[in-house]
């Protein structure tokens, strides 16, 4: 594939992913926020959400579901998104809050915090899969939204880059669990670290309880 063909393919993909935003623009909605989260499944660390309002003429090529992109590509795109967005913000819920209210409610809390952090109030919110019942903002939940909406995909990239950076910091604080590589997910190296050391302060006690069938009796009271 030539460079011209690659660029044209990315342009077509961007056009596909702008359908939800353009439909709202046609209805007179100027400020559409995309919201997504990262980190619902890990055994350790926070759940992180991002909200972003892109300009109507945003033409950043390559925006897609963050899971489909390499770490280097995500970093590059995150900088472009931050530079061109009308506004963007992050929301966090740490492991203690997740244990307190459950991961679904913590995810919604992080998303709501991200929306509150926006410098411009959105007129409509596009959210990956979930709704925010306590929000008074008009909203649309889109299943697989990070692959179908450019705004949600942009939010997924911002959330992923931010959370990965936080997990790198935690790796330096709590070595032995390979958090720099697994980002808190339940990999073999992570389980080996739990076997040797037990949980550290950022582990989700409510999640570790689901893994006791492996024959381990970790001290989750730490």
* Domain residue limits, the chain: 3-171, 175-214
Per-residue pLDDT at 221 exceeds 60: no
Q: Give the pLDDT confidence of 3-57 residue by residue, as tens digits.
A: 888 999 999 999 999 999 999 999 999 999 999 999 999 999 999 999 999 999 9
pLDDT at 71: 96
Q: Which of 135, 156, 134 is nearest to 145 (CA)?
A: 156
| Beta strand pairing call for 47-53 and 32-38 | antiparallel
Q: Give the pLDDT confidence of 82-100 residue by residue, as tens digits.
A: 999 999 999 999 999 999 9
Global pTM reads 0.93
Domain 3-171 sits in CATH at 3.30.420.10
Q: Give the pLDDT confidence of 119-146 residue by residue, as tens digits.
A: 999 999 999 999 999 999 999 999 999 9
Contact indicator for 56, 170 with CB cutoff of 8 Å:
no
Q: Give the pLDDT confidence of 61-77 residue by residue, as tens digits.
A: 999 999 999 999 999 99
Contact indicator for 140, 20 with CB cutoff of 8 Å:
yes
The C-alpha torsion from 82 through 84 and 89 to 95, rounded to 10°, is: -40
d(CA 194, CA 62): 38
The C-alpha torsion from 165 through 168 and 170 to 173, rounded to 10°, is: -130
pLDDT at 209: 84
The sign one gets for the Cα dihedral 130, 131, 132, 135 is: positive
């Amino acid at each position: 594939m030539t460079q011209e063909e690659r660029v044209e393919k990315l342009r077509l993909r961007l056009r596909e992913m702008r359908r939800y935003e353009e439909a709202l623009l046609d209805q007179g909605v100027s400020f559409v926020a995309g919201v997504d989260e990262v980190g619902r499944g890990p055994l350790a660390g926070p759940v992180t959400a991002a909200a972003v309002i892109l300009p109507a003429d945003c033409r950043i090529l390559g925006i897609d579901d963050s899971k489909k992109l390499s770490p280097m590509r995500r970093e590059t795109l995150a900088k472009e998104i931050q530079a061109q967005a009308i506004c963007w913000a992050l929301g966090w819920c740490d492991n203690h809050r997740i244990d307190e209210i459950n991961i679904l409610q913590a995810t919604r809390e992080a998303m709501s915090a991200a929306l509150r952090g926006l410098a411009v109030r959105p007129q409509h919110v596009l959210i990956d899969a979930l709704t925010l019942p306590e929000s008074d903002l008009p909203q649309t939940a889109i299943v697989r939204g990070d692959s179908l909406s450019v705004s949600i995909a942009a939010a997924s990239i911002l959330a992923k880059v931010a959370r990965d950076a936080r997990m790198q910091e935690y790796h330096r604080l709590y070595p032995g669990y390979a958090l720099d590589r697994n980002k808190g997910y339940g990999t073999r190296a992570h389980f080996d670290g739990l076997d040797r050391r037990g949980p550290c302060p950022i582990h989700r006690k409510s999640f570790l309880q689901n893994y006791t069938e492996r024959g381990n009796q970790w001290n989750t009271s730490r």
